[in-house]
């Protein structure tokens, strides 16, 4: 009897220790996968004599790369902010023909990777394309030609492709949390454009700024479009330093600079988004709010604006790809089917591991009594991998793996590890959002019903999160099927994905051969965007 009482006391004493261990494991697991490759890059720079040795005589080059990256990110973020905020305002406060469909249609450019859009724009504006032919027809004996290239073109293309990040953040905020104060401003006399300029932009600023910073992060990470357009960016410089010159010191220095810029943007995005968190806690009673009457001519103009905004990022790539398929019909070939298999392998293995890692981190931290005050730090730790550009993580794993890239299986393992480290943050972010509104209201009753944390995870938390696990898995698959930079650096010889196949065809000046893999990527990504939009925005 005495021994049983002592054992029970030991269990009670060890329970807080087990909870603390589980919470720390949940916080450390995703961070380790990011710090290991970054530490390998630091050791590579130290082995080459430090940053000062590499920067000596190369300051102008690194300045050109940094200026190109920052300029393209600024152009993309500005254009995305203008388009995303304007479309979100129209969709939230005006009724116009096909509003429900066009509200979803505005998010579809997110399904088209930027590098595929660049290939399509190059063909569309080429000397044999419809624009140049039309201009030559209007001006006879003219050699006029539009040649997309450089940093400005890169920023414009990225802005049209990535504005849905701003749109999908601002639209629910305007439609739900911010509807009441804006309706009050309308009662007080603010109407139309004045309502949009004065209280509208001020109230939506935290959300639109957070979306614009996400666009800037994606612009810093973009490699395929920058390489094709010849834009001097940090990502293209990193790949050039490693793949062409095999200079690990130069590549590692650029990688750490790129990672530093990305982490600064993440910190800024988190600080700005924190100011707008109040809107997400407001009641969503405004979901079914009525729309003010809109004049027919103005209503059709709003519909046209939605179509025009999505045309460069969606319609042009789809039309150009379909034209290439009709103009150059060919058998898909074994190589294309092999690329499809490679993409499916990446989605199933790397996506599955990223989803399991994100779910495990969330459950270990939340189910074992993680403090809400520390949830922000935990969220930053889990999302650090997505903040670091893919080419940076890939180069770090190259350094960690040493000669592992020589083998097929070991090279695939490094590729899977890098993609898992990067996209675990996507999985954690989606599941964390679902936890706040699906699980948190039932957390206290669950703790009363079952004292065991593992029993609650198995019997209560996981079933409640099951729909969100599916939707988050689709989001991870969407990012994986479009990922190019890490796959180019880490893939073993003989392994291809749809993204690398399309990039190789375009780099060999055969952009018409990117049509089939491009349409396959867009079809899969479009289904994911539709499923996620239906899950999160169908009531907006």
Candidates 497, 504, 506; CA nearest to 336 is 497
The whole-number pLDDT of residue 21 equals 62
Check residue 9 and give its pLDDT. 42
Is the full-model pTM beyond 0.85? no
The C-alpha atoms of residue 55 and residue 233 are separated, in whole angstroms, by 17
Question: CB of 251 within 8 A of CB of 242?
Answer: yes
pLDDT by position in tens, the chain (length 540) = 443 444 444 443 444 655 556 556 656 777 788 888 888 888 877 766 555 555 555 677 788 889 999 999 999 999 999 999 999 888 887 888 898 899 899 999 999 999 999 998 888 887 666 676 666 666 665 555 566 778 999 999 999 999 999 998 888 877 766 666 666 666 555 665 556 656 666 677 778 888 898 899 899 989 989 999 889 999 988 888 887 767 777 788 888 888 888 888 877 777 766 555 544 444 444 444 555 666 788 889 989 999 999 999 999 999 998 888 888 877 677 788 888 899 999 999 999 999 998 888 888 777 665 555 555 666 677 677 787 888 888 888 888 876 555 567 778 888 898 899 889 888 888 888 778 777 777 777 777 777 677 777 777 788 888 888 888 888 898 889 988 888 888 888 788 899 999 888 888 878 888 888 888 899 888 888 888 777 766 555
Q: Smallest Cα–Cα separation from 152: which of 81, 79, 215, 241?
A: 79
pLDDT at residue 216, rounded to an integer: 92
Gyration radius (Cα) of the chain, Å: 25
End-to-end alpha-carbon separation of the chain, Å? 61
| Fold classified for 58-327 | MetI-like fold (1.10.3720)
| Residue 112 phi, psi dihedral angles, 5° rounding | -100, 115
Number of residues that this document lists for the chain: 540
What per-residue confidence (pLDDT) applies to 70?
A: 93
- Burial of 400 by CB count in 10 Å (0-12 exposed, 13-18 middle, 19+ buried)? middle
Query: Do residues 451 and 369 touch, judged by C-beta distance below 8 A?
Result: no
CATH assignment, 24-36+329-540: 1.10.3720.10
Residue of 466, 262, 452 lying closest to 369 (CA atoms): 452
Cα 67–chain centre separation = 22
248 HSE (CA, 13 A, CB side): 18
Domain with CATH 1.10.3720.10 in the chain: 24-36+329-540, 58-327
Q: In which residue are the tokens 């060999």 written? A: 508
* 241 Cβ neighbours under 8 A, 6+ residues apart: 247, 250, 251, 254
What pLDDT is stored for residue 78 in this prediction?
94
**Residues 168 and 109 sit within 8 Å (Cβ to Cβ):** no
What sign results for the dihedral spanned by CA atoms 10, 16, 19, 25?
A: negative
Tokens read off for 339: 């690329």
């Amino acid at each position: 009897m005495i021994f049983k009482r002592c054992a029970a006391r030991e269990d009670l004493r060890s329970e807080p220790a087990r909870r603390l261990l589980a919470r720390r494991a949940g916080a450390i697991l995703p961070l380790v996968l990011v710090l290991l490759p970054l530490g390998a890059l630091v050791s590579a720079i130290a082995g080459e004599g430090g940053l000062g040795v590499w920067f000596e005589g190369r300051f102008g080059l690194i300045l050109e790369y940094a200026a190109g990256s920052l300029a393209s990110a600024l152009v993309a973020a500005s254009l995305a902010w203008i388009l995303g905020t304007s479309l979100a305002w129209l969709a939230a406060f005006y009724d116009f023909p096909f509003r429900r469909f066009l509200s979803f249609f505005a998010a579809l450019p997110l399904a088209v990777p930027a590098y595929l859009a660049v290939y399509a724009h190059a063909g569309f504006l080429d000397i044999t394309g419809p624009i140049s032919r039309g201009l030559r027809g209007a001006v006879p004996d003219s050699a006029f030609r539009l040649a997309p290239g450089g940093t400005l073109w890169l920023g414009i293309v990225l802005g049209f492709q990535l504005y849905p990040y701003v749109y999908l953040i601002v639209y629910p905020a305007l439609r739900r949390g911010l509807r009441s104060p804006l309706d009050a401003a309308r009662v007080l006399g603010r109407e139309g454009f004045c309502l949009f300029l004065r209280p509208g932009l001020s109230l939506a600023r935290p959300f639109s700024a957070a979306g614009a910073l996400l666009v800037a992060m994606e612009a810093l990470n973009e490699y395929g479009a920058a390489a094709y357009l010849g834009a001097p960016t940090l990502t293209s410089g990193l790949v050039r330093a490693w793949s062409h010159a095999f200079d690990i010191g130069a590549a590692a220095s650029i990688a750490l600079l790129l990672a530093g810029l990305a982490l600064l943007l993440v910190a800024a995005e988190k600080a700005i988004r924190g100011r707008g968190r109040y809107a997400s806690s407001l009641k969503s009673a405004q979901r079914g709010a009525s729309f003010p009457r809109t004049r027919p001519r103005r209503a059709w103009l709003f519909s046209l604006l939605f179509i025009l905004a999505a045309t460069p990022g969606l319609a042009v790539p789809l039309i150009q790809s379909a034209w290439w398929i009709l103009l150059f019909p060919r058998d898909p070939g074994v190589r294309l089917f092999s690329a499809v298999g490679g993409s499916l392998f990446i989605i199933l293995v790397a996506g599955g591991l990223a989803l399991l890692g994100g779910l495990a981190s969330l459950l270990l931290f939340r189910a074992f009594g993680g403090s809400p005050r520390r949830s922000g730090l935990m969220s930053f730790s889990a999302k650090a991998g997505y903040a670091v550009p893919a080419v940076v993580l890939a180069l770090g794993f190259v350094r960690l793996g040493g000669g592992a890239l020589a083998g097929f299986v070991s090279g695939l393992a490094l590729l899977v590890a890098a993609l898992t480290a990067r996209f675990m943050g996507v999985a954690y972010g989606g599941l964390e959002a679902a936890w706040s509104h699906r699980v948190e209201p039932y957390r206290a009753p669950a703790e009363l019903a079952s004292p065991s944390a593992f029993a609650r995870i198995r019997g209560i938390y996981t079933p409640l999160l099951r729909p969100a696990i599916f939707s988050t898995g689709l989001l991870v698959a969407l990012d994986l099927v479009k990922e190019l930079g890490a796959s180019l650096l880490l893939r073993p010889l003989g392994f291809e994905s749809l993204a690398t196949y399309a990039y190789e065809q375009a780099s060999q000046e055969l952009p018409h051969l990117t049509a089939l893999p491009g349409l396959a990527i867009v079809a899969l990504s479009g289904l994911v965007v539709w499923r996620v939009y239906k899950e999160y925005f169908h009531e907006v």
